[in-house]
A and B are shown apart, each in its own frame.
Chain A
Amino acid sequence: METVIANSNFKSEEYFINMGPQHPATHGVLRLLLTIDGEIIKKVEPDLGYIHRSIEKMCERDSYQQIVHLTDRMDYLSANINNEAVCLTVENALQLEIPDRVKVIRTIIGELTRIASHCLWWGVMGMDVGALTTYFYGFRDREMINDIMEETCGARLTMNYNVPGGLMFDIHPNFVKRVKDFVAHFKTKIPEYNRLLTDNIIFQKRTMGVGILTKEDAISYGASGPVGRASGYSCDVRKHHPYSAFDRVSFTECLETEGDTFARYKVRMAELWESLSIIEQLIDNIPEGEHRVATNAVIKLPKGEYYQKVETARGELGVYIISDGVKSPYRMKFRSPGFSNLSLLSHIASGGKIADLVATMATLDLVIPDIDR
């Protein structure tokens, strides 16, 4: 009998599981190597590069006007803010005086992009925790923004609306009215979002206390955007390093202290209201003026190094240009928010269940082309 007990070496065994590159929860071609004990995750190792397009290398060949178009393809949900980041860097380097009209329009469109991105995130977040209906609600409202963008610049996703020196075209005459309509419409829809998902007890149980990120870790891992702010880490670039028209609007930085998945969810929901408020402050007084200042056909940045950070829907996007005075940058680096936010996934998802990993990953709001650049 004793030998039986001695031999019944009853221990659970860890095993590997391949999540992705084709997996519904990884939102693109991200591959996670999970080490699992039963349902409990021991280790998460991301495997990247499935859609790496070497944008940084391509930038070393392209002119600055061309580079703007490449940035659309990084974080395609904040395409406009990415464009803006590159344009701002180039404009700062050339010390161009940008008209107020451009600044205000850029800010409004940036906030619209943020709302569109958060709408999509909200839909997908619900889907990841199993409530499939949210997806369609999120897309319904995002569609209105896409329609506005289509009328304004002819594109719905990769807008290419910004150029170094201003905007490609002036806004459409309907723009102001349609944005106002959207703001009025969306104000009635956020409470609907809350009724459907936020207030749901199952959703709260699924997300509260899951994937906790402390403030110290958030800073150390370079978390930014809603991920950092949910840990109580004030990291809104719009507040700390204001660009475009953010210095002339009043908005609060949405902070939570819990640092769990639900906190990240709440921060994004609160940001929807803040973005609406920013748009409302600006939409009625878009200054008259030029929509673009003339630049040389071939832009050559003076020798030097230029850095510009902006707040995309996902966090802090940094554009670092080292110029040696010719038409293309010597080295161009994009500090993408998703890359840093992904690096902390292993830290906060270990020890949780598979379902927790999916919920946590949903609130990191990863866009894979942004990580893979």
Chain B
Amino acid sequence: MTNEALQLLIKDWAPEAEFTEEGSQYLNVLVKPEHLHDLMEILKFNSETSFDYLFCLTGVDWGQALGVVYHLESTQYRHIIVVKSQTEDRENPRLDSVYDIWATAEFHEREVYDFFGIKFNNHPNMKRIFLTDEWDGFPLRKDYVDEINMVIK
């Protein structure tokens, strides 16, 4: 399916979603956190889009907001879409987990939590994956203060 057709379809499902193709080879969709899970569910289970393969889940610190980027691919049609969602709340950021849609998200979301501190609702095992539980702060955030130069020398 072409990017335009995808854009039309998704406009139907999530009217407030923002689209952009600028500076990226894929179609980018920015959705509000509260619509994220619903949209994701449709994207996977709708037979026209059928995005059944979540191949990359990235946490990003946009400065103001903390966000997650989902790269989705359909193993049937081989089209790719990028879904983004972000939250302004840096103290207690929360997003919905997509673990129930793509099982691979379980580990990837734990990684995002580990480095960005974004908590995922309904995640079965929301704890740090790489760092120790006592680790202070979230290292990949841009405002992370690394006093003893532990990460970067």
> Interface stretch among A74-82, A97-105, A300-308?
A300-308
A217-238 contact mask (Cβ, 8 Å, vs B): 1 or 0: 1011110100000000111000
Chain B residues lying within 8 Å of A342, measured Cβ to Cβ, are 107
Contact B130 A49 (CB under 8 A): yes
Contact A347/B103 with A304-B22, A305-B24 known, Cβ cut-off 8 Å: yes
B26 on interface, CB distance cutoff 8 Å: yes
**Of residues 22 to 47 in B, which have CB atoms within 8 Å of A's CB atoms?**
22-26, 28
Q: Are B53 and A343 in contact (CB under 8 A)?
A: no
Number of A positions contacting B (CB below 8 A): 40
User: Which residue of the partner chain, among A92, A305, A335, A372, contacts B55 with CB atoms under 8 Å?
Assistant: A335
The residues in B between 93 and 131 inclusive whose CB is less than 8 angstroms from any CB of A are: 102-104, 106-108, 111, 115, 129-131
Chain B residues near A217: list those with CB within 8 A: 103
Q: What is the interface size of chain B, counting residues whose CB is below 8 A from a CB of the partner?
A: 35
Residues of B within 8 A of A35 (CB): none
A249 at the interface (CB under 8 A from B): no
Within 8 A of B (CB), among A329-352: 331, 333, 335, 339-340, 342-344, 347
Among B22, B54, B82, B131, the residue within 8 A (CB) of A222 is: B54
Question: Which of A217, A222, A234, A372 has the most B CB atoms < 10 Å from its CB?
Answer: A222
Residues of A within 8 A of B (CB): 48-49, 52, 54, 56-58, 61, 92, 217, 219-222, 224, 233-235, 240, 302-307, 309, 316, 318, 320, 322, 331, 333, 335, 339-340, 342-344, 347, 372
A-B contact pairs, 24 of them (CB 8 A): A49-B129, A49-B132, A52-B131, A56-B140, A58-B152, A220-B102, A235-B75, A302-B23, A303-B23, A307-B26, A307-B82, A316-B55, A318-B55, A318-B71, A320-B56, A320-B69, A320-B71, A331-B140, A333-B58, A335-B71, A339-B107, A344-B103, A344-B104, A347-B103
Give 19 A-B pairs besides A221-B103, A372-B130 with Cβ atoms closer than 8 angstroms. A49-B130, A49-B131, A57-B139, A220-B104, A222-B53, A233-B75, A304-B24, A306-B25, A307-B24, A307-B56, A318-B56, A320-B56, A320-B69, A335-B56, A339-B107, A340-B107, A343-B103, A343-B107, A344-B103
